[in-house]
Amino acid sequence: MRNVILGITAAAALVFAQPATADTVSDWWEFANKLAPPGGGGTPDQMRSTSRASLAMFEALNAIDRRYETYLNLPQGDPTASQDAAAATAAYLVLVQHYPNHKVALDDSYAIAMQAIPDAARREAGRLIGEQAAAAAMVAGGIDPAIAQTPYRPVTRPGQWISTPLPQIEPFMSAFRPWAIPSAEALRPPPPPALDSAAWARDYDEVRRVGGRTSTERTPAQTLAARYRQAFDLTPSMRLAADAPGRTPVQNARMFARYQMAFDDAALAMSAAKAHYDFWRPITAIRNADDDGNDATAPEAGWVPLLTTPNFAEYPCGHCTVAGALGEVMKDEVGARPATGVRVASSAIPNSAVQVLPTWDAWVQEVSDSRIYGGVHYRFSNDAGEAIGRAAARTVLDKVMRPLPRR
């Protein structure tokens, strides 16, 4: 779900060999995403690596240029310290602890970043602040040991075969400490529609008609949207936002940190809801519609979705949850209709052109629609996911890193 490209090795050392105008915060955020396992997988520790690196950079820069409330209670530091040194050190120390196998690439990148700072005294002052921020970030946002992690138990009748691969959503994904929301359960959506309801029949029929591999109702543009949106990548929009004239390093660090926190809290609530409801996917429902108790649903024994169905429960939609959260954060950051448009790439089709949409809400809507065109979600699940994501984002925006009164 995090939709990033798996790590880089020696080439990573070249990430920071850029002009002096490049934004250090954006560079390290992008580097962290490239190191993260694809699809949001990996160990429990790795799942919060980009968030911790972003938070550490914010705290380091906010200690130097105090504009916002601190999240980690980091004291104010030397205002003359190098902000580039502080941000690079904070991110480097977090990432090297999360990814020791990439230490050589991280060491090289950090050395390049620090060598570009000519003032030794300011560089050292920034390094010390970055160390403090990294240490504080590494103890934040981890697994809560008080939350029980119940392994998945396949439900079947004794002696009856069912598919054996375990779900890709692990029990620990619902056990993280949230950044801003009260708990994973606090944003739990209402149950999906009853199987004998008109709402179920309506949304079932929509995905059956337009989400099948051989659908004659889905347009070529909708087919492309389904494929393109499997792994969306907002890096083009994030870089444009960070590079806008007049933005400060701490402002950019706050943007990335809140982006990651909203992502995490939304995903936490979504994972917990999926485990709670354990609702069936379209491929299962459509092949077994004669057993759902609804005369308005017609089964298709050989129905296959356009996209491969993710191996975990359906409700609510994960892509929609994350898109709703990120859209809300970026509307707050750059406005609902940014002048440069909402520019989105695709990790699913990495060599494709960057798409430009007019508004953040238009992008969120396209993500939701694409999951129906792909045959992996129902409309009501998409709506529930969007609502979770927006609520998680609003909680982060209302509670975290609020601006301090200007003197």
Strands 355-357 and 342-346, how do they pair? antiparallel
Residue by residue, pLDDT tens for the chain (407 residues) are 333 222 222 223 233 333 333 589 999 999 999 998 876 667 887 889 999 999 999 999 999 999 999 999 999 999 999 999 999 999 999 999 999 999 999 999 999 999 999 999 999 999 999 999 999 999 999 998 998 898 888 888 889 898 888 888 888 888 899 999 999 999 999 999 999 999 999 999 999 999 999 999 999 999 999 999 999 999 999 999 999 999 999 999 999 999 999 999 999 999 999 999 999 999 999 999 999 999 999 999 999 999 999 999 999 999 999 999 999 999 999 999 999 999 999 989 888 899 999 999 999 999 999 999 999 999 999 999 999 999 999 999 999 999 999 86
DSSP conformation letters of 335-373: -SS-TT-EEEEESSSTTSPPEEES-HHHHHHHHHHHHHH
CA-to-CA separations, 138 to 52, 96, 399, in angstroms, rounded: 7, 11, 21
Predicted TM-score (pTM) of this structure? 0.92
CB 59 within 8 Å of CB 137: yes
| Token digits of residue 232 | 């969306």
d(CA 314, CA 321): 12
d(CA 83, CA 75): 15
Residue 51: exposed, middle, or buried by beta-carbon count in 10 A (0-12, 13-18, 19+)? buried
Q: Is the backbone peptide bond immediately before 236 cis, with ω within 30 degrees of 0?
A: no
Q: Give Cα 184 distance to the centre of its chain.
A: 16
CA-based R_g, the chain, Å:
22
Q: Quote the pLDDT of residue 36.
A: 85
CA-to-CA separations, 93 to 18, 86, 136, 222, in angstroms, rounded: 21, 11, 11, 43
CA-to-CA separations, 32 to 84, 129, 383, in angstroms, rounded: 16, 20, 30
Q: What are phi and psi of 309, to 5 degrees?
A: -75, 130
Q: Quote the pLDDT of residue 48.
A: 93
Locate all alpha helices (DSSP H) within 245-281, ordered by sequence.
249-277
Nearest to 343 by CA among 235, 226, 221: 235
Q: Quote the pLDDT of residue 43.
A: 81
Domains, in order of start, for the chain: 10-137 (no CATH), 173-399 (1.10.606.20)
Q: Give Cα 33 distance to the centre of its chain.
A: 10
Q: Quote the pLDDT of residue 406.
A: 80
CB 116 within 8 Å of CB 20: yes
